[in-house]
A = this chain, B = another copy of it.
Amino acid sequence: MPRSLTPGARRVLDVAARLFYERGLHAVGVDLIAAESGVTKRTLYDRFGSKNALVTAYLEERDERWRDRVRARLDELDEPARRVLAPFDVLVTWVPDNPRGCAFVNASAELPDAGHPARAVVVGEKEWLRELFRTELAAAGAPDPGPAALTLLLLHEGALAAAGAAGMDDAPGAARRAAGTVCAQAVGSPG
């Protein structure tokens, strides 16, 4: 939430983001995060209040940065059919730097309580992408963009899962190609 973090808080959030993604939420304690940030636990709790809040801040910032990447790619593209595939363009460059799968799915696996504030971030991220696909498919002329948008979402999530859990590095590229076909059909053929 806080737009401008104190220097210590900034380091805490950067360290937490790296460790949470690499090792998982429960496997990383606040002692380690504080130590690696060069900050005391006292400061960590003064800035974030709780570990849960720190987890939520981590996911919110990650979501924000990823959306910025997708929007930046969209700004580079004019052709409607290519714009639909923008998230897959991002995916292909994203996965090599993020080989442990989708941070939101991984977080969800560790947060069974549906009422946890971080779960709302996860749901928001997926729904934002699904809606983006629908919007761009409609702009590209798809008469019934809903089903195709969900299919594209599934390909996107599937690629993250296959690459992250099973090390299938060809998944993002394959997802992009399959998405191109789905897109072409949704736009160009009778429903």
Contacts and interface: CB of A to CB of B under 8 A. Distances in A.
A147 B166 contact: no
A105 B166 CA distance: 8
Contacts of A22: 112
Interface residues of A, number: 47
A32 interface: no
Contacts of A123: 165-167
A182 interface: yes
A177 interface: yes
A150 B178 CA distance: 10
Interface string A145-185: 00100110111111111101111101100110110011001
B154 A175 contact: yes
A177 B105 CA distance: 23
Chain A interface, DSSP helix/strand/loop, else mixed: helix
A178 B122 CA distance: 24
Given A154-B159, A158-B154, A122 B166 contact: yes
Interface string A18-48: 0000111011000000000000000000000
24 contacts: A24-B109, A24-B112, A26-B110, A27-B112, A100-B112, A102-B161, A102-B165, A106-B106, A108-B164, A109-B109, A109-B165, A110-B110, A122-B166, A123-B165, A130-B168, A150-B170, A150-B174, A153-B162, A154-B154, A154-B155, A154-B171, A158-B161, A161-B161, A178-B182
